[in-house]
Amino acid sequence: MKIKIDSDVLANSIKSLQRLVQASTVSVEVKKGQFNVTGTGNGNSCLMTVPCTIEDKKGTASFSIDANVLLGAINKRKEVELTISDAAVVVKAQRYE
The arithmetic mean of pLDDT across residues 26-44, rounded, is 90
Residue 88 has what pLDDT?
A: 87
More confident residue, 27 or 43: 27
Average pLDDT, the chain: 89
> pLDDT by residue (tens digit) across 57-81?
777 889 999 999 999 988 888 899 9
Name residue 39's beta-bridge partners.
26, 46
Residue 31 has what pLDDT?
A: 87
56 pLDDT more than 80: no
